[in-house]
Amino acid sequence: MNSSKNLKMFLIRNAVPIVFILVSAAAIPFSQFSADYLIQEMLVRLSRNSFLVLSLLVPIMAGMGLNFGMVLGAMAGQIGLIFVSDWNVVGLHGLVLAAIIATPLAIVFGWICGVVLNKARGREMVTSYILGFFMNGVYQLVVLYGFGAVVPISSPKLLLSRGYGIRNTLNLDTLRRCLDDLVRCEIAGIQIPLATFAVIGVFCLFILWFRRTKLGQDMRATGQDMAVAESAGIPVLHTRVISIVISTVLASYGQIIFLQNVGTLNTYNSHEQAGVFAIASLLVGGASVSRASILNVFVGVILFHLMFVVSPMAGKYLTGDAQIGEFFRVFVSYGIISLALVLHAWRRHADREAARAHFRGQNSDKEAK
């Protein structure tokens, strides 16, 4: 009796990853990919994307919901890479330097984001979403018009033919895979970028440690209930801003790791998808807007990217049209986020309605106003 109720709870709670596993399992045979290829692809994508998704954990802890503002961090990371490319600093040194340049930028962006979100309490997610677009406009303004004109760029191969503005595509050959290839390891013909995973591992430890620090506890309290936290003396507004700052800085590092694997910087596009994919991955992993764990991150990245890789090919072989597969992938990405958001909101709403009905039922003679 109890176990069937538990099973039901488990299914509802993890509806999203379960749906995903089913869809992927159905699609894999259609896509005609070999197991070897898929395992290698998933490893690469894990090493590439996990950091970005992990950066979303901190704001969720602080009750800020899904930080679409991580796009700002990605932009900061990219600006760091542009400078490093221009100054021709190569290899791991270049990567670290890019991170160092990106950090103050990301702190400023994160600060702005945090302050704006505090002003839009109750609608953090929509606001961070729009803020991402807005900052994208500012980023384009600076990078497409300011770089080369106001900001000195010495290397002409980075600039557009008109003399100012960064090119659409930057080759990151000098930095390509410098972290991935640092410690090479091969098992059964599958390459494993140990160094990158080591960095990710360190980050996970950092998160676990952070949860226990005073700041971490403050954030969790703020996330649970702002009013209670405030009365307990926690500077809630400040804590919320800090959570966004941390997330943005980490997102900038994550974007740098992502780009060193890809090897090419699409100056005006690379960051746009970073936000959507990271959030989709997290939701697919079973996280909700108010609760997310490290397990959600890794499960989510694997499942989301599995679907991502498999669906275009499956669509092509199923319907004879590769385009449909592409669109299917976009549809599932956004549909999954909708589904997860709906489930979360529905649960929250149902809880509140139940509480209110209970309240009203008890106090039927005095109307609660």
Partner 1 sequence: MQRVKKFIENVGWPRILIALFLLSLFVIAPFVGVRLDASINDTLVRFGMNGVLVLAMVPMVQSGCGLNFGLPLGIIAGLLGAVTSVELEVTGLAGVLTAMLIATPIAVFLGWCYGLLLNKVKGSEMMIATYVGFSSVAFMCIMWLALPYSSPNMVWGYAGRGLRTTISVEAFWQNAISRFASFRINEFLAVPTGMFIVFLLLCGAMSLFMRTRTGTAMTIVGSNPEYARASGVNIDKMRTLSVILSTWLGAIGIIMYEQSFGFIQLYMGPFYMAFPAVAAILIGGASVKKAGIVNVIVGTILFQGILTMTPSVINSMIQTDMSEVIRIIVSNGMILYALTRATKGRS
Partner 2 sequence: MKTRRFLVDLALMAAFVLLGWYCYDRGKAYDFIVQNTAYAAGAEKLSGMEAVQLTVDGGAPKTLYDGDIDQTVAVGSGTHELRIDVLDLDDRPVPGQSRVFRFRLRELGEKMTLNIPFAYKSGADVK
Binding site for partner 1 (CB under 8 A): 116, 119-123, 125-127, 129-131, 133-134, 136-138, 140-141, 144-145, 321, 323-324, 327-328, 330-331, 333-335, 337-338, 341-342, 344-346, 348-349, 352, 367, 369
Residue 210's binding partner out of partner 2, partner 1, none, with CB under 5 to 8 Å set by partner kind: none
Residue 198's binding partner out of partner 1, partner 2, none, with CB under 5 to 8 Å set by partner kind: none
Query: Which two three-digit tokens encode residue 259?
Result: 């780009």
70-87 and 124-140 helices, crossing angle to 10°: 20
Nearer to partner 1, 211 or 329 (CB): 329
* Angle at the Cα of 25 from the Cα atoms of 22 and 20, rounded to 5 degrees: 40
47 neighbors 108 (Cβ within 8 angstroms): no
Q: Taking the complex as a whole, how short is the minimal distance between the CB of residue 103 and partner 2, in angstroms?
A: 7
Q: Taking the complex as a whole, how short is the minimal distance between the CB of residue 202 and partner 2, in angstroms?
A: 16
107 binds partner 2 (CB under 8 A): no
Contacting partner 2 within 167-186 (CB under 8 A): 174
Nearer to partner 1, 269 or 323 (CB): 323
86 neighbors 99 (Cβ within 8 angstroms): no
Residue 258's binding partner out of partner 2, partner 1, none, with CB under 5 to 8 Å set by partner kind: none
What is the rounded distance in angstroms from the CA atom of residue 51 to the CA atom of residue 274? 11
- Hey, how many other C-beta atoms are within 10 angstroms of the C-beta on 27? 24
Q: Taking the complex as a whole, how short is the minimal distance between the CB of residue 172 and partner 2, in angstroms?
A: 13
Q: Taking the complex as a whole, how short is the minimal distance between the CB of residue 104 and partner 2, in angstroms?
A: 9
What is the rounded distance in angstroms from the CA atom of residue 83 to the CA atom of residue 247? 22
What is the rounded distance in angstroms from the CA atom of residue 289 to the CA atom of residue 332? 19
What is the rounded distance in angstroms from the CA atom of residue 306 to the CA atom of residue 304? 5
Nearer to partner 1, 80 or 315 (CB): 315
Sort 157 into a burial class: Cβ within 10 Å, 0-12 / 13-18 / 19+. exposed
Distances (CA, A) of 25 to 305, 310, 318, 332, 355: 13, 10, 15, 15, 39
Q: Which of these ranges, 100-108, 209-217, 309-317, 327-335, lies near partner 2 under the rule CB under 8 A?
A: 100-108
What is the rounded distance in angstroms from the CA atom of residue 275 to the CA atom of residue 350? 29
Distances (CA, A) of 314 to 17, 20, 42, 45: 19, 15, 17, 19
Which residue from 298, 270, 272, 264 is spatially nearest to 284, judged by alpha carbons?
A: 298
Q: In the set 11, 25, 39, 100, which binds partner 2 (CB under 8 A)?
A: 100
Q: Taking the complex as a whole, how short is the minimal distance between the CB of residue 367 and partner 1, in angstroms?
A: 7
Residue 89's binding partner out of partner 2, partner 1, none, with CB under 5 to 8 Å set by partner kind: partner 2
Residue 122's binding partner out of partner 1, partner 2, none, with CB under 5 to 8 Å set by partner kind: partner 1
Q: In the set 8, 11, 39, 88, which binds partner 2 (CB under 8 A)?
A: 88
97 binds partner 2 (CB under 8 A): yes
Q: Which of these ranges, 23-31, 99-107, 165-173, 273-281, lies near partner 2 under the rule CB under 8 A?
A: 99-107
Which residue ranges make up the site for partner 2 (CB under 8 A)? 87-94, 96-97, 100-101, 103, 174
